[in-house]
Amino acid sequence: MEMNGSELANRHLPLAATPARLVLENGAVFRGQPFGALDVKRQTGEVVFTTSITGYQEILTDPSYAGQIVTMTNPLMGNYGANDEDLESRHPFVSGFVVREAAQRYSNWRAEESLGSFLERSGVLGIEQVDTRRLVRMLRSEGAMRGVLSTEELSDAELIEIARQSPKMAGLDLTKGVTTNESYDLNGPSQESPHVVVLDYGIKQNILRKLVAHGARLTVLPSTATLEEILAQKPDGIFLSNGPGDPDAVKDTIAMLKHLIKREEQPIFGICLGHQLLSLALGGNTYKLKFGHRGANHPVKNLLSEKIEITSQNHGFAVDWKTMPKDCELTHLNLNDHTVEGFRHTKLPIFAVQYHPEASPGPHESDYLFTQFTHAMK
C-alpha cells in the first residue's frame, strides 16, 4: 500500500504518541513528535542551532548550552547511539533538543543505548519530525529567540505567551548552575609538571584532557573561587573555561580577574566564556550576536601565522574590539562575520580565544594553543 508523505515520515512512531510543539516568541509554531524524557511536559529556553553534522552527545553535554533549546541542522540524529565515554560533563544541560528525525535504530560498536534512551534518563525532552530547515532559516533571519517546548494541552496563544515571559539570555549568569560543587585535582605526568588552576565556568572534559596531555597537573576550582583561594594553590598558570550565559553578568568573577591581572604573575589562558571574561576584566565590552556561532566548521584566520583554522564554536556573545585597550593585540578573526576570535596582551602573558581548540566534536587544528600555554608557564 502506498503511503503519503506524512504517513511515511511518521511510520516508525507509536500510534499513541502525544504531539509536541516548539513555539517561539515571534508566534511561530512547529509541530512534531516528542522523544526522550516524555514525563517532562514543558521546557523553556533560548532556541539556537548548530551546524555540526555529528557529535550530538558532546553537544548535549556541553554546559555552554545551558538554558538553550538546541536545534540540529543535520536531518538525521541518533544513528550511532550514545555511550558514557563521550560525555563532556556530568549530564546534559540543554533545555531541549530539536531534530528532523531521530533514528529508531542505531549501529556502532561503542554504542550502549539509543539517543532517545539517553535523553530519557537524562531528563531532556526532545522533538522530532520538525521542519528544521524552516526553523533555522527563521533563526538566521530574525535571530535566536526565546521558545517553549511542550506536550501540554495548551493553546498556541498560551504557549506563545509562556515563551515571551521566559527569561532573556542577556543578563543571565548561568555559571553557578553548571560549575563543579567542589575543587578536585587531576595528576599530570609528574609532580614537577606545571600546576594549572582551572576555573570551571562550565568546563568540557576534553579541555581537561588536553591540558593534562600537554603536561600540566590541574586543580579545578568552582566558578565562585576567590583570589585568595586561587593564589593559595600556588599556580604556575591559570585557565578560564568555557561556560553559558551572558559574560557581563558574571560580575564577581570580572572583579576578581581585574585584581589577578594586576599581579602580573601567572600566565592566563581563556577559552570561550573565559575569553569574554578576560576581555571585560581588561576594560573591553561584549555584545550579543544575532544568532551566535555554533558548529564544528567555522573558519578563523590566525593573524599571526596567516593560516586558516577550521574551528569548533559555541557562543552567543562576542567581544567588541573597538573597546579593548591598546596593549591588547587581535590574533584571530572570524572569516564569516569578522568578529573577534582571539587576542593576546602585548606586555603580560595573557591570551585567549573565542572558539574551542579542544574541539569535541570538531577538528584539531588549534591544538597548538595548549602547547603555547604550557611553554608560557615554563
- Please name each of the domains of the chain with its CATH number: 5-165 (3.50.30.20), 175-377 (3.40.50.880)
Give the torsion through C-alpha atoms of 70, 71, 74, 78, to 10 deg.
60
Quote the pLDDT of residue 17: 58
Question: Is 175 strand, coil or helix?
Answer: helix
Strands (E) in 103-216, as ranges, are 125-128, 145-150, 184-186, 195-200
Rounded CA-CA distance 161/339 in Å is: 34
Q: Are 22 and 147 in contact (CB under 8 A)?
A: yes
Strands (E) in 254-358, as ranges, are 268-271, 285-302, 307-320, 328-334, 340-345, 350-353
Quote the pLDDT of residue 10: 39
Rounded CA-CA distance 365/332 in Å is: 13
Rounded CA-CA distance 62/72 in Å is: 14
Q: Are 169 and 246 in contact (CB under 8 A)?
A: yes
CA 239 to chain centre: 17
Sign of CA dihedral 117, 294, 197, 367: positive
* Whether this model's pTM surpasses 0.75: yes
Catalytic (active site) residue 328:
no
Buried b (16+ CB within 10 A) or exposed e, 65-93: bbbbbbbbbbeebbbbbbeeebbbbeebb
Quote the pLDDT of residue 188: 77
Quote the DSSP letter at residue 183. Answer: -
Q: Which of 128, 272, 328, 341 is catalytic?
A: 272
Catalytic (active site) residue 358:
yes
Q: Which of 46, 58, 120, 358 is catalytic?
A: 358
Tens of pLDDT along the chain (378 residues) come to: 333 333 333 334 443 357 999 999 999 999 999 999 999 999 999 999 999 999 999 999 999 999 999 999 999 999 999 999 999 999 999 999 999 999 989 999 999 999 999 999 999 999 999 999 999 999 999 999 999 999 999 999 999 999 999 999 999 999 999 999 999 999 877 878 999 999 999 999 999 999 999 999 999 999 999 999 999 999 999 999 999 999 999 999 999 999 999 998 999 999 999 999 999 999 999 999 999 999 999 999 999 999 999 999 999 999 999 999 999 999 999 999 999 999 999 999 999 999 999 998 888 899 999 999 999 998
Q: Which of 195, 298, 345, 356 is catalytic?
A: 356
Quote the pLDDT of residue 190: 80
Bridge-based pairing of strands 285-302 and 328-334 is antiparallel
* Cell numbers standing for residue 227: 583570589
Quote the pLDDT of residue 11: 37
Catalytic (active site) residue 272:
yes
